[in-house]
């Protein structure tokens, strides 16, 4: 009996000693946790936070909070080995999960940095392409981007423009437009019926164009190099080169209110052509299809269109060659939208002047002329309705229609006065001839009598 009790006492004392040693090791490990060097990972904070979450799930054992130390503690083999094993397994699982999160977070960071690098490179390329002059010998990448842009110009739509049919020049809706063209000395450009266009040469013109200092335009078409500027282009087209040469401006609020209908809906600087009064719709067609052609938004009046329309309506002198060169630069630099390839039939005069070998020509059909004529008939019908029923339209529209009719009447009176003046001049010349002959006859000496 004594031996059994002593043995049980020794076993209980061993268990008690083992429990004391285990608790001592556990407390010592818990205190040494902050001193243990943690593995250097880019996402250590994420790993530690996830370990705390695991501890919340497994609350019955404090061992999962313990990190594995480089020094292996000597724990006596007893029934408490299960707690140590749980600690090791949980540490392995948490470590693997932390590594996975670190890898995922690292991939996200790398993706963000890659995207940022791409955006920076893109902005740098855009700034470089904007600051570099075409044709300059700088970085190869910028040159390749410019070459791609040049090749894209060859695929742009070639814009024919507009011409005036001779049989509609005296119509009511055309009077104001014809007067403006005569004042600007442009009439000969838009009244030619036999126009030829060369689309391939026009594409080559815009693809190889570049500017140097003093706004000189250098180009190469079908192997012919030539340089032009405002005076040279004005000489080729036969138009003056003084006056407004840039459209960088805005129209006045008074003009904007004058050309728009009372119920017109405006969207910031953009105005649809249907919102214009009838007498200004043809002026818009002239600006939007001939002077500042654009391949897109052909029914929308932009700020530049309104600025040029106001200058034309006020009979201000316009430098057509300067306007064309400024617009050509926008085309080649893809500035302010897609402008297409404008001034096709006007560029034919340039090619012929520099004796460029030309390929197959495209003759302009009467389709464009018929469109302009039909549009003029519609405007005349709208004007007549406004004159017959003034109450249905605004007072301003009726006044404009009345002034348009008076302008047509005055134009007819001027033509009659010119014809009468020519007739009177002819009669005066005839009377002067008779008077001169009479004076010459009277001044002759009388015939002498024979002796």
Please tell me whether residues 78 and 144 are part of one structural domain.
Answer: no
Residue 150 confidence (pLDDT): 59
Please tell me whether residues 33 and 180 are part of one structural domain.
Answer: no
Residue 43 CA to residue 93 CA, distance in Å, equals 17
- In this structure, is residue 57 part of a structural domain? yes
- In this structure, is residue 374 part of a structural domain? yes
State yes or no: pLDDT of 38 exceeds 80: no
**Residue where the block lists tokens 């140590």:** 84
Model confidence band, residue 82 (pLDDT cutoffs 50, 70, 90): very low
- Tell me: the pLDDT tens digits for 150-174? 556 666 666 656 666 666 677 766 7
Residue 398 confidence (pLDDT): 65
Question: Residues 392-414: what's their mean pLDDT?
Answer: 69
State yes or no: pLDDT of 319 exceeds 90: yes
Residue 386 confidence (pLDDT): 58
Please tell me whether residues 305 and 399 are part of one structural domain.
Answer: yes
State yes or no: pLDDT of 267 exceeds 90: no
Please tell me whether residues 105 and 145 are part of one structural domain.
Answer: no
What DSSP line would sit under 362-374, residue for residue?
Answer: EE--THHHHHHHH
Residue 255's contacts (CB-CB under 8 Å, 6 or more residues apart) are: 306, 309, 310, 313
Please tell me whether residues 179 and 262 are part of one structural domain.
Answer: yes
CA distances in angstroms from 140 to 137, 143, 152, 375, listed in the order given: 8, 5, 18, 51
Rg (C-alpha) for the chain, rounded Å, is 45
Which one-letter DSSP state was computed for residue 224?
Answer: E
- In this structure, is residue 251 part of a structural domain? yes
Please tell me whether residues 249 and 324 are part of one structural domain.
Answer: yes
Residue 310 confidence (pLDDT): 93
Residue 29 CA to residue 66 CA, distance in Å, equals 7
- In this structure, is residue 437 part of a structural domain? no
- In this structure, is residue 385 part of a structural domain? yes
Looking at the structure of the chain, the number of domains it has is: 3
Please tell me whether residues 180 and 245 are part of one structural domain.
Answer: yes
State yes or no: pLDDT of 29 exceeds 70: no
Residue 344 confidence (pLDDT): 76
Please tell me whether residues 223 and 287 are part of one structural domain.
Answer: yes
State yes or no: pLDDT of 350 exceeds 50: yes
Question: Residues 187-215: what's their mean pLDDT?
Answer: 77
Please tell me whether residues 189 and 327 are part of one structural domain.
Answer: yes
CA distances in angstroms from 444 to 432, 433, 436, 440, 448, listed in the order given: 19, 17, 13, 7, 12
Among the ranges 94-98, 131-135, 248-252, 393-397, which has the highest mean pLDDT value?
248-252
Residue 426 confidence (pLDDT): 80
**Residue pair 345/197 in contact by the 8 Å Cβ criterion:** yes
**Residue where the block lists tokens 């791609």:** 148
- In this structure, is residue 451 part of a structural domain? no
| Out of 155-159, 200-204, 230-234, 413-417, least confident range | 155-159
Please tell me whether residues 94 and 191 are part of one structural domain.
Answer: no
Please tell me whether residues 377 and 251 are part of one structural domain.
Answer: yes
Residue 244 confidence (pLDDT): 92
CA distances in angstroms from 172 to 297, 377, 411, listed in the order given: 28, 9, 11
Please tell me whether residues 235 and 317 are part of one structural domain.
Answer: yes
**79 lies in which domain range?**
2-115
Residue 212 confidence (pLDDT): 65
Among the ranges 264-273, 313-322, 440-449, which has the highest mean pLDDT value?
313-322
């Amino acid at each position: 009996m004594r031996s059994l009790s002593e043995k049980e006492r020794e076993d209980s004392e061993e268990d008690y000693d083992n429990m004391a040693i285990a608790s001592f090791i556990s407390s010592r490990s818990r205190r040494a946790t902050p001193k243990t060097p943690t593995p250097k990972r880019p996402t250590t904070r994420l790993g530690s936070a996830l370990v705390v979450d695991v501890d919340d799930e497994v609350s019955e054992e404090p061992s999962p909070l313990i990190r594995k130390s480089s020094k292996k503690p000597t724990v006596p083999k007893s029934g408490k080995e299960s707690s140590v094993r749980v600690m090791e397994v949980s540490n392995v699982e948490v470590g693997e999960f932390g590594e996975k999160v670190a890898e995922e977070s690292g991939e996200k960071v790398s993706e963000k940095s890659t995207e940022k690098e791409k955006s920076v490179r893109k902005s740098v390329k855009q700034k470089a392409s904007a600051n570099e002059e075409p044709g300059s010998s700088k970085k190869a990448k910028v040159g390749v981007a410019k070459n791609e842009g040049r090749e894209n110009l060859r695929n742009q739509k070639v814009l024919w423009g507009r011409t005036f049919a001779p049989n509609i020049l005296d119509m009511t809706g055309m009077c104001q437009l014809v007067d403006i063209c005569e004042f600007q000395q442009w009439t000969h450009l838009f009244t030619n019926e036999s126009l030829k266009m060369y689309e391939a040469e026009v594409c080559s013109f815009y693809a190889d164009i570049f500017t140097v200092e003093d706004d000189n335009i250098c180009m190469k078409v079908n192997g012919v190099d030539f340089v032009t500027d405002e005076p040279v282009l004005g000489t080729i087209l036969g138009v003056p080169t003084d006056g407004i040469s840039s459209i960088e401006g805005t129209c006045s609020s008074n003009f904007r209110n004058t050309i728009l209908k009372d119920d017109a809906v405006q969207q910031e600087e953009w105005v649809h052509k249907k919102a214009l009064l009838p007498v200004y719709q043809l002026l818009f067609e002239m600006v939007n299809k001939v002077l500042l052609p654009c391949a897109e938004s052909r029914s929308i009046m932009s700020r530049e269109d309104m600025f040029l329309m106001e200058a034309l309506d006020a009979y201000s002198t316009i430098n057509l060659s300067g306007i064309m060169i400024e617009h050509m630069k926008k085309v080649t630099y893809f500035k302010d939208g897609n402008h297409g390839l404008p001034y096709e039939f006007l560029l034919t005069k340039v090619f012929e002047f520099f004796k460029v070998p030309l390929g197959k020509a495209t003759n302009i059909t009467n389709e464009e002329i018929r469109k302009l004529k039909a549009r003029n008939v519609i405007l005349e019908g709208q004007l007549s309705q406004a004159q017959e029923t003034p109450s249905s339209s605004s007072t301003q529209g009726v006044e404009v229609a009345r002034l348009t009719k008076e302008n047509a009447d005055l134009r007819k009176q001027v033509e009659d006065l010119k014809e009468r003046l020519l007739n009177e001049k002819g009669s005066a010349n005839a009377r002067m001839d008779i008077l001169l002959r009479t004076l010459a006859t009277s001044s002759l000496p009388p015939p002498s009598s024979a002796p």
